[in-house]
Amino acid sequence: MSLHLEPVIRLPQTSVAEGVFAAGDRVLPEETPVALTYNGSTHAVMMASPADLEDFALGFSLSEGIIAEPSELASMEIVEHDLGFEVRMWLQESSSGAYRSRRRAMAGPVGCGLCGVESLAEALRPASKVAGALQVPPRFIATAMADLAKAQRLNREARAIHAAALWRPEQGLIAIREDVGRHNALDKLAGALARADEPCSASMVLLTSRVSVEMVQKAAHMGAPIIVAISAPTALAVRVAESCGLTLVAVARQDSFEVFTHHERIKRLGL
């Protein structure tokens, strides 16, 4: 039996307003368990939107340091089960030894974010250094976030889905991925960009969520010099962004935003 799930689904509901009951329906986001396995062993089980799972698996593998390059994946197969999806990945022999060593440091399968990481040092591993020289004027931030909102196809239908996108001056929106999980959306974006061999060093990563430390780590690993988010960052995310050279812009609204780290990449008016 296979699921044949779509990212969004229309379900019946009853609206109640001023004591009046009315039957109707609403489009809701779908979510399903996705098991990520390497060389026959389950590494993580994530709740995700059932779309772009190849991008998700590749992006997760890269951002978690399981592989350094897409070519280190020998094969990938998506298998549908009654309860969810399994993404079966096999590593090239040259990468298998490093993965086995990493597995011995893991407490077991994880459900989301950093759950299940045994070592505090592993959870707070240093983010990749970012050296991109990109500079943008303030109006580019507003333009990029407006482009992001227009491109959120699934969220327009269900109003409960996160997005991550790559935006580049002179080109605009390069790629966007959506998911019920903010980490998943960013991993899907990373996978899509890696698959297309699309560089991030002269681009901004856009997020519809708050910025937690793992979002900074993932964006830095992609090599993007600027991250822009609708919501606020955590204090730890700010410290990590500062240390790795990433410009962190958050609380981005239609006519304002806040810069927390490496202000030099945001051009002051008149300069």
The pLDDT assigned to 105 comes to 53
Question: Which tokens go with 35?
Answer: 């098991």
Terminal alpha carbon distance of the chain? 62
Alpha-carbon torsion 210, 176, 35, 237, what sign? negative
- Please name the fold of domain 32-123: Ubiquitin-like (UB roll) (3.10.20)
Mean pLDDT of all residues in 152-156: 97
Domain ranges, ordered by start, for the chain: 32-123, 138-265
pLDDT at 110 over 50: no
Lowest-pLDDT range, 86-90, 106-110, 178-182, 200-204? 106-110
Question: pLDDT of 196-239, one tens digit each?
Answer: 999 999 999 999 999 999 999 999 999 999 999 999 999 999 99
Q: Are 136 and 226 in contact (CB under 8 A)?
A: yes
**Largest Cα–Cα distance of the chain, in whole Å?**
66
Collapsing DSSP states into helix, strand and coil, what is residue 11? strand
Residue from 112, 115, 200, 244 carrying the catalytic annotation:
112
pLDDT at 250 over 80: yes
Please name the residues in contact with 17: beta carbons below 8 A apart, sequence gap of 6 or more: none
The pLDDT assigned to 102 comes to 65
Question: pLDDT of 18-59, one tens digit each?
Answer: 999 999 999 999 999 999 999 999 999 999 999 999 999 999
In this prediction, what percent of the chain has a pLDDT beyond 70? Answer: 90
Q: How far apart are CA 186 and CA 226, in angstroms?
A: 14
Q: How far apart are CA 185 and CA 164, in angstroms?
A: 6
pLDDT at 162 over 60: yes
Residue 169 per-residue DSSP state:
T
244 is catalytic: no
- CATH code for the part of the protein at 138-265: 3.40.140.10
Question: Which tokens go with 226?
Answer: 């600027």
Phi, psi of 40 (to 5 degrees): 90, 0
